[in-house]
Structure 1
């Protein structure tokens, strides 16, 4: 029997929590590992948890070793970091980039990351620049298969309250058909489904998935 280990970073977030549930019930992967800074409130039966300090490169590398597919769904908000841009960058840029480096060095062949629509190293928006800079570094990491997912507004129940985002979601959902495809709201569950589908494919190289590409990935699995 072939053993495949799927490792998730950011398992307590909207997309990450769905990833863990989907991977735990998917026969393609025989092991599910969670890398976190603290023990998650809910852990699916059989999943392994590695609690580490993400700024400790030895611990981070050790937690990644043995992975066949590494899923990175970390992210924070300005409110959480109290406006500290350095702390913001550590989460949205440094963790994904360091994860990719450890992925490559340990021989993990697939890396899948949640980014954001509009991500670019050339933008003046600090959030999208963090994501864009991370994408550029990961693209150059040498990992055989890299998949970047760029959702727009995410729909789904979060563990935390985001009033501004919730209000925007209420306004945008009925009008989503008017938006250019890549800016349409998408369920966090659907992003997770698309990521799992991509991880199970044989495609190699660097790929970016927006709304339409994510929905197409899901449909191919039906």
Structure 2
């Protein structure tokens, strides 16, 4: 039975990935900051990305490492870099020292646009860490916005859309891509079957090759609710003013803000399309959950029991 080490196991993606690994018959060693009880196939390692001893324990005996952990909020670049870049370096240094054969970095589509935000720059820096240290048999995935049960970012937007209101923070003529967490997990499982896939980076999306425009998303929601959806474009000047104020407040209170000037840059970027061709050819993987299907089946994006 193969053993897989997972960081970010208690986060949105990791909490879907680990049960899928169990069902697929893998043994899992997972990193956690809180005390958790082991199950039959999941062994929890207490620690964080700054704990080299915990990372050594995490990867000892593992055949593959899947690095999902990362920071999506922060009040300065150093906060993002410490987790996304330096944390990645420490994980893969531990993996190399323990002889782990195959490594997967879950990066972000934002990494291809590092000038936009601290987050994007730190994700590109994480990828660069792998180049700088000559990590063997490493693969990089660059998913776009990921949604599904457990997501806290896109769910409020879906709920509003299906009530007939769609606030638009993105570029009015922009195009974006998304992927459902279940499809992303299936891509990871496909990689585990063929871990010597190559470095990539591999982009992946839900099958909408040309992405979505905001009017297209509004039309999908209108069809699902069988009624009109009112689009409410948010002025860029307002978003930027709110972002600056939010960042100043966060720095005063010690919070980790979500809306920052960099996040507005990401939202207003006009082209977040990507291409599934390379990963589909390399892994024989295809997405199955389109945005239209997800909107039609609320169980695909709402938490169980809602």
Deviation at 1:84, TM superposition (A): 4.5
Deviation at 1:23, TM superposition (A): 0.9
Q: 1:85 to 1:138 in 2, by over 3 A?
A: same
Q: Is the 8 A contact 1:197 1:218 kept in 2?
A: yes
Question: Which residue of the partner structure matches residue 196 of structure 2?
Answer: 203
1:49 counterpart SS class: strand
1:194 aligns with 2:187: yes
Supply the RMSD in Å over aligned alpha carbons.
3.1
TM-score (norm 2): 0.58
Specify which of 147, 150, 160 is matched with residue 155 of structure 1: 147
Question: Which residue of the partner structure matches residue 133 of structure 2?
Answer: 141
Q: Is the 8 A contact 1:15 1:73 kept in 2?
A: yes
Q: State the distance in 2 between where 1:123 and 1:103 align.
A: 30
Question: Which residue of the partner structure matches residue 219 of structure 1?
Answer: 285
1:207 counterpart SS class: coil
Question: Which residue of the partner structure matches residue 51 of structure 2?
Answer: 56
- Residue ranges of structure 1 left out of the alignment (5+ in a row): 173-177
Deviation at 1:70, TM superposition (A): 0.4
Deviation at 1:134, TM superposition (A): 0.5
Question: Which residue of the partner structure matches residue 248 of structure 2?
Answer: none
TM-score (norm 1): 0.78
Deviation at 1:158, TM superposition (A): 2.1
Q: Is the 8 A contact 1:139 1:206 kept in 2?
A: no
1:9 aligns with 2:27: no
Can you list the C-alpha shifts for 1:119-164, whole angstroms capped at 9, x where unaligned?
04853421111000100112343333211111111121226x336x
**1:1-222 matches, cutoff 5 A:** 3-27=1-25, 29=26, 31-39=27-35, 45-78=40-73, 81=74, 83-120=75-112, 123-158=115-150, 161-162=152-153, 166-167=156-157, 183-201=176-194, 203-211=196-204, 212=276, 213-214=278-279, 217=283, 219=285
Q: Which has more radius of gyration? A: 2
- Residue ranges of structure 2 left out of the alignment (5+ in a row): 168-172, 205-275, 289-306
